[in-house]
Structure 1
Amino acid sequence: MASNQEEIKLFGMLASPFVSRVEIALKLKGIEYKYEEEKWGNLSETLFKYNPVYKKVPVLVHNDKPISESLVILEYIDETWKQNPILPSDAHKRALARFWSNFIDDKYMNALRKVLYTVDEKECKIYIEESEVALEFLENELKDKFFGGEDIGLVDITAVFIAFWLPIIEEVMGLKLLNIGKFPKLYKWSQDFNNHPIVKEKLPPRESLLAFYKARFAS
């Protein structure tokens, strides 16, 4: 637990999977923090002060020292509070966890962004294939119940978007990306991950998220 002298704030936003990553990690560690909700399209001056480079959530402020970018924050949390580690102790396994977490952001999230914001149908098909190739790599990498073994770890937390956000986006867009026939292990992992008691407590309400994306894609 954080000591009484520590002040921990998290600047976040309901619809952000990157913020959810940080909330899950803090909950896993048993760290109490103050949550500051930012508004989509109307971010606060305080947030800009703490994250002048990227001007976005999440930002973790620990004793008035800000840390931004979700993967950087996750590593900071793991190094600062040693209980319930989210990174393996073995150096090679730790490097692999970092590799796959970066892969999710670089390959999968980027491909999916193109799927969502491309109007041209032919191009969209190419990006869907790209995103499926990325999911295949993750399907083959998943050896246990979770990427972290029997307990959730860095890669699982990074992949919260795939487990929880993706089915909502599929519903809004009329797509089928996380196909149980194509990706049986990933599909089962997503169910186990979403139902993990700590994860479940920190995921945003599904209906609110669904309404948010319906409104966003309608505009």
Structure 2
Amino acid sequence: MIQSTRFCLRKFACYGLVGMLMLSLVSFAPAQEKPKRGNQRMAQQTLPHFQSAIVHFGIVVHDIEVSREFYTKALGFEEASTFEVAPEQATKIGLTHQLPLKVYVMKAGKGENATQVKLMEIYGAPNQRVDHTTIAHSLGVSYLTVMVKNLPRAIAMAKKYGAAPLAEGPVKIAGDAEPPLYIVLVRDPDGNLIELIGPMPAKKPRDTAKKKPAKPKKEAEAPADSKVSSEE
């Protein structure tokens, strides 16, 4: 009886040690915390909230009509709309201090996803230009990039409206693009830098083969009736 009791006590003690060991292992196991509601809200707030992936921007110009002609005819933009902002509204928004402005909305292509460039002339503004000698001279937006299908044609159009390529352009862009892409910088009427990027299509070889001279046409013989009448 005593032996059986001792055996039971030993057995109970062993089970107790095993149980304590298991509890200790569980207590040291890394717990996976459930995300708190506050953290979920913060995560939702930091997620992308853009309604459109296209970013539009504005350029203040000295003469909006001159810039409008350049951006449409030299660069190929399309005029989408035009509007004016009254001094009071411009002040409320924070655009100007009691100065009105006129805006031309230019689009690079068609559709809702086309990039929009807003040309703005502010009436009565001092029109102080930013130093755009190179992109290292001033902080802020430095240049506008326009992707074109035919770079030589785009350069020719820009030259026609007084925007000659800068430095050594066009320069080939490093990479494995096929066809290779080239880059050139030009300036708009206010000196803003514009980056034109596109392929340089190979020129078609001219057909230098000498053309054979055309054979002289044979004079049509007079009808028999006319010969008879002439003999008479």
> TM range, normalised to the smaller chain?
under 0.3
Name whichever structure is richer in strand by fraction: 2
Instruction: Please say which structure displays the higher CA radius of gyration.
Output: 2
TM-score (structure 2 length as normaliser): 0.23
Name whichever structure is richer in helix by fraction: 1
Higher RCO structure (Cα 8 Å, ≥6 apart): 1
